[in-house]
Amino acid sequence: MLINPLTEQVKVIPKIISKAFDMTTFPINRNKTNRSGENVTDQTMITDCAYLTHYQIKSRIDYLTIQLKPTTDLEFQLSSEVLVNWLNTIGIKAVSTEPNLKYFDQGCLLQTIDVTQKFCGAIKWNDTNDLIQLELTGVGCTYANTHSDYFFIFNAFAESMEVQIQRIDIAVDTFEKKHGLRFMQQAYSKGLYTAATGGKPKREDYSSEKGKSIIIGSRHSHKQIIGYEKGRELSYPINSLEYNNWFRHEVRLRSRKSQPIPIDALFNPDEFFVGAYPKANRRLIKHVTPRVIKREVIKATDKTLSDKLAYAKHQVGKTIFSAVDRGLDSEIIVQKIIRKGKKDNICYPSYITDEDKKNYIFD
């Protein structure tokens, strides 16, 4: 019988990534609640799921590739059904579109169930019924990070079959200038990203209209860290706090035979973020505030809405002014011009509730 994550003491293990991990699991319950009712903390904080909030976890899973390895046809069938049901519960569905099937026989893309209808990953499997791979993009991970079920389903799977994380991206945000791009450049120069054995990791710098970024470590290595100007990537106004200060540090871990990634990484991501590059990242995690995906999504969508309103002012502002001058009531004007589209990039995903929008004021 699984137990509630908020009443169980989570096992804490130091995660300095210098040798192979032992696969670890611990029992955590999956709370069955409604999609919009998972948060038990103050809504004015625009919180993510209760587990992340309760343990004050500052990082967030931003990409995940995980494999299930059933040993019988029945186990394959049952685990497939459970996985699809879990995805539906957090707000994601499988669609008929086929993904890139390299190394696999069959598969389907994943799409959000709500009005945003964004593609957010894939499920792939072999005809031999011995391997299922789930891939969740950053968009897909937001639905897990904000739902009460979180990733607890994989602890249940691990009790009956082998479960392996193939890749996991763990992101930490900061609004402090001292921990931005310059911090990474100086930390690299000081050797803070260099392991005790081996040479200095590869470094690549990029610059574009979307801002500057730095990648440390080879894509063929078991770990990398990527830093980029998130506010500029999202095209916030030049004079805004986000444009000038929002910086994201993202650790990318890839499984290797000598470096497997345990399930524990899903539930203690802060430790794995620090453990990947301890000399540099321990200076970040204790200073940054927790990433709050709900707030990030609301602000990004609000920005798009603000841009659309500015465009509308330019295009139809004079017409609306004439209608007001004519004496038409604002409600009449809105009713004459309002319409609902089938799909729009200014739709809020299902995990953003009316209460969230009410408590986060539109700028």
pLDDT (tens, 9 = 90+) of the chain, 363 residues, equals: 333 332 333 333 334 444 443 433 333 333 333 333 333 334 346 778 999 989 989 999 999 999 999 999 999 999 999 999 999 999 999 999 999 999 999 999 999 999 889 999 999 999 999 999 999 999 999 999 999 999 999 999 999 999 999 999 999 999 888 999 999 999 999 999 998 887 899 999 999 999 999 999 998 899 999 999 999 998 888 988 889 999 999 999 999 988 899 999 999 999 999 999 999 999 998 766 656 777 778 888 888 788 877 877 777 888 888 888 778 888 888 887 777 765 556 788 888 888 888 877 777
What tokens were used for 352?
Answer: 């953003």
Helices (H) and strands (E) in the chain, counts: 13, 10
Residues 298 and 357 sit within 8 Å (Cβ to Cβ): yes
Tell me how crowded residue 159 is: count the other CB atoms within 10 A of its CB. 10
Instruction: Tell me phi and psi for residue 223, to 5 degrees.
Output: -150, 150
- Name the amino acid, one letter, at 97: T
Burial of 275 (0-12, 13-18, 19+ CB in 10 A): buried
In which residue are the tokens 């293990």 written? Answer: 13
What tokens were used for 192?
Answer: 């803070």
Distance CA 181, CA 194 (A): 18
